[in-house]
Structure 1
Amino acid sequence: MAVSSPFPDDPVGPGGLAAFFAVTFAITWAIIGSYVLWPEAMTARFGEISGAHPFFFLATWAPAIAAFAVVLLWGGVAGLRGFLSRLLLWRCPAPWWAFILAGIPLVFMAGSLIKGGPLLAPLPPEGAGPVVMLMLMMLVLGPIEEFGWRGVAQPILQRHVAPIWAGAIIGTAWGLWHMPAFYLAGVVFAEWSFLPFFLGNIVLAILVTPIFNAARGSLALPMLFHWQLINPFWPDAQPWDTWILIAVAVVVVWWTRDLMFRREGAVTEVIPGHGGAQP
């Protein structure tokens, strides 16, 4: 049975947002935190953690797991079907498609060149085949998070604050959610500096916000955006990619300032057909 929302026409209310964040952090921090605090015991019992470990997948999927639980609890099975229909929303102005498909790769390439690196990530001795397989595997890792961040959190926050602040709040939560991984050996985060990554999360969450709203709450475009961020063909550009993205974000926010700083027109539906965008 679905839980009623205090907001008329909005099945998922602020209680759903609180539940989403609580479940998301509980799953990920419990799994990764256990490996950080008790590495020997966890490794002996469950095996060494890595990017291919089932627990790593579970920790990464926590936002999606939380999102599905919230939508089912507040909207029922019919609500979940409506929620998933947002995967079919692909229409978006051409400049945003260009930014996702070409702009993001150019940011990584430019950042890599600044630090003296290659245009593309070096291929392994086996050639491009393993990288292609890794790229496809990445499709079911990071992008799945968007069921939560843009699927549940963004629409609910945009009922109360302007899109830019909704993006900043999600970016802050997104960055803090990753924090335990920076203390975990055996994963890529252990080799990065947290502060540029944290700032980058805020910037990226702000950057994807106008794309999300322009596509009327699409889940597909934020997933494609996220996939590009972890595409193994793009070179490691840390921390320069963050500084470039900050500059890009300033331009994007200025360009879309009429929409980013007011709630009118922002997508506020978690489940399509309930409430709609504000007039």
Structure 2
Amino acid sequence: MSTIATWTRRHRLTAFFGLAFVLSWWAWPLYAAGVDVVPFWPWGPLLAALVVIGVTDGRSGYRELLARMTRWRVGWRWWVVALGTPLAVLAVATIANVTIWHAPAPDIANMAWADIGLMFAFRFVDPLNGPLGEEPGWRAYAVPRLQRLWSPLRSACTLGVLVALWHVPLVATDRLAAVGIPVTFAITFVYVWLFNRTGGSGLMTMVFHVAQGTISYAALGFAYADATRMDWLTGALWCLIAVGLVTLDRKAWRSAPAAAVAPAPVAHAHV
């Protein structure tokens, strides 16, 4: 056990990413072999972060993670950005789908807003849903440690590749459109940018993630080809936003703010 702990302390990120994949993918081979199991578990990054912190940093690591996931004093503008950007992307894609491709216009007045509000709240506390399963791991844990080694740009590239690969079982089991893989890579830049601009707030990336997926295409009345087109439209918009952030806010990609960088690891941390 001490050998495993020593190795994990020396290779925190490798241990985290490896464990995140194992904890999310463990049932996929069984599913492919015909066993009736859920093939993908989105809580992998959350559990991986908790396990690696327990082995390497103990209470101080948990305090750091909790502080990032509850960092709400970031200024009201960033709350607007976190909540409004995903909704704006969805709105623009919807307008394009209706006006250009003549998809049926959503009946906004008769949408199940109470159910949507309940889903919004539920996604904050459900580890089997994307936001809570991913954000404490990918953003609150991994990004500060990647940025202790590399620039935000290189960190976002690395994380984007890994998170995109992590979603592969969803594509293989028809739970995610194939276009979701490159879009996941692109939107990772938006997440990292938001994380850094809010002083390392995992809460803001959590709010962003919750807002991004709460209103489904079905809730808007889209199905079949219209819903598939929405994947492409929203994906194209996220790619444009990512390119815009990298090209227009170049300073943000050179160095991360101190608040968004993990402290240097303490040798032989108490666990």
Aligned to 1:97: 79
8 Å contact from structure 2 (residues 69, 136) kept in 1: no
8 Å contact from structure 2 (residues 152, 254) kept in 1: yes
Out of 221-230 and 254-263, give the one that drifted further. 254-263
When residues 63 and 122 of structure 1 are mapped into structure 2, their CA distance, relative to the original with a 3 A threshold, is farther
Out of 176-185 and 15-24, give the one that drifted further. 176-185
How many angstroms apart in 2 are the aligned matches of 1:202 and 1:260? 16
Is 1:138 aligned with 2:123? yes
Using the TM superposition, give the Cα deviation of residue 267 of structure 1 relative to its aligned residue in structure 2, in angstroms: 2.1
Using the TM superposition, give the Cα deviation of residue 148 of structure 1 relative to its aligned residue in structure 2, in angstroms: 0.7
SS in 2 for 1:239: helix
Taking the TM superposition and a 5 Å limit, the aligned residue runs for 1:101-250 are 101-116=83-98, 117=103, 127-139=112-124, 140=126, 141-144=129-132, 145-185=134-174, 187=175, 189=176, 192=177, 194=178, 196-232=179-215, 235=220, 237-250=230-243
Structure 2: which amino acid aligns with 1:269?
A
Out of 109-118 and 221-230, give the one that drifted further. 109-118
8 Å contact from structure 1 (residues 112, 118) kept in 2: no
Deviations 1:19-52 (A, max 9, x none): 01111111212223321x123xx22xx5xx4xxx
When residues 109 and 121 of structure 1 are mapped into structure 2, their CA distance, relative to the original with a 3 A threshold, is farther
Structure 1: which amino acid aligns with 2:242?
A
Q: TM-score, normalised by structure 2?
A: 0.78
Taking the TM superposition and a 5 Å limit, the aligned residue runs for 1:261-276 are 261-263=254-256, 265=258, 267-269=260-262
Using the TM superposition, give the Cα deviation of residue 214 of structure 1 relative to its aligned residue in structure 2, in angstroms: 2.1
Q: CA RMSD in A?
A: 3.1
8 Å contact from structure 2 (residues 120, 211) kept in 1: no
Structure 2: which amino acid aligns with 1:208?
Y
When residues 130 and 103 of structure 1 are mapped into structure 2, their CA distance, relative to the original with a 3 A threshold, is closer
When residues 262 and 132 of structure 1 are mapped into structure 2, their CA distance, relative to the original with a 3 A threshold, is closer
Deviations 1:40-91 (A, max 9, x none): xx22xx5xx4xxxxx75xx110000000001111111343133212222123
Using the TM superposition, give the Cα deviation of residue 95 of structure 1 relative to its aligned residue in structure 2, in angstroms: 4.2
Aligned to 2:28: 32
SS in 2 for 1:91: coil
Structure 1: which amino acid aligns with 2:170?
A
Aligned to 1:252: 245
Unaligned runs of 5+ in 2: 221-226, 267-271
Is 1:64 aligned with 2:46? yes
Using the TM superposition, give the Cα deviation of residue 4 of structure 1 relative to its aligned residue in structure 2, in angstroms: 6.8
Q: TM-score, normalised by structure 1?
A: 0.76
Q: Percent identity of the aligned residues?
A: 22
Structure 1: which amino acid aligns with 2:21?
F
SS in 1 for 2:26: helix
8 Å contact from structure 1 (residues 83, 270) kept in 2: no
Is 1:15 aligned with 2:11? yes
